[in-house]
């Protein structure tokens, strides 16, 4: 009898921590073995922790500065804290769902073979970067005080702005997410580098647009 050698190739699973050190490798793994539920649960927990820290960092003075009457501030503060904490759980789920749906439409137009599961998994893993940013910034605000809505890693935080405005959108983790998204669309969705970067930049600019609209409604300075 001839001896037969059986070679078993184990599929390597993508890693959330690997998104910080080797995102390209993780996107290749996601393309082969897209994972959803466990990473989505972990990211949701991380966001919940970050948003809870943000809620704990809020005080009456923040709301008074935003125009809330002093006789209503305690009630509004309590409701706001609960709302912010709940938002932490829902943010990654809704964010991943919407971005994946949009990416799927684009990939179908571009004749990419990427599936919704692959894109959903890709965006879930990308969101761990945003989760890290939320926890880091809210933890710092909880420790040193100040407006928890202004990230210390943003230009608004660097320039000690009282309100975020557009400068709040120019933030390290947001830009990092944009870069990693471009890499993911190229590696996992198999889009061209040019199209991948275009999509990532457009999403970033849309975020700035929402920040501008929010600033106008809040009466904050646009910069």
Report the distance separating Cα 78 and Cα 40, nearest Å.
28
Tens of pLDDT, residue by residue over 29-84, are 999 999 999 999 999 999 999 998 988 888 777 666 667 777 777 887 888 888 88
C-alpha 97 chain-centroid distance = 12
pLDDT given for residue 6 in this prediction: 38
CA contacts within 13 A on the Cβ side of 96:
29
Q: Which pLDDT belongs to residue 180?
A: 98
For 11-25, the pLDDT digits (tens) are: 789 999 999 999 999
Amino acid 83: pLDDT: 86
pLDDT at 166: 83
Q: Where are the domains of the chain?
A: 23-218
What pLDDT score does 89 carry?
A: 84
The least confident of 53-57, 66-70, 99-103, 129-133 is 66-70
pTM of the complete model? 0.88
């Amino acid at each position: 009898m001839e001896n037969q050698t059986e070679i078993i190739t184990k599929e390597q699973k993508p890693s959330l921590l690997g998104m910080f050190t080797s995102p390209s490798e993780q996107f290749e793994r996601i393309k082969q073995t897209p994972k959803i539920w466990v990473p989505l649960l972990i990211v949701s927990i991380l966001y919940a922790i970050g948003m809870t820290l943000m809620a704990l960092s809020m005080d009456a003075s923040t709301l008074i500065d935003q125009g809330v009457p002093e006789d209503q501030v305690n009630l509004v503060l309590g409701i706001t804290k609960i709302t912010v904490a709940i938002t932490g759980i829902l943010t990654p789920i809704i964010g991943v769902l919407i971005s994946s749906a949009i990416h799927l439409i684009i990939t179908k137009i571009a004749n990419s073979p990427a599936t919704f599961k692959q894109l959903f998994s890709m965006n879930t893993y990308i969101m761990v970067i945003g989760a890290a940013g939320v926890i880091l910034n809210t933890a710092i605000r909880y420790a040193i005080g100040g407006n928890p809505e202004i990230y210390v890693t943003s230009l608004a935080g660097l320039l000690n702005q009282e309100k975020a405005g557009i400068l709040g959108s120019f933030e390290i983790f947001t830009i990092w997410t944009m870069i990693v998204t471009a890499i993911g669309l190229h590696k996992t969705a198999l889009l061209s580098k040019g199209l991948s970067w275009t999509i990532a930049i457009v999403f970033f600019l849309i975020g700035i647009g929402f920040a501008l609209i929010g600033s106008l409604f809040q009466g904050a300075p646009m910069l």
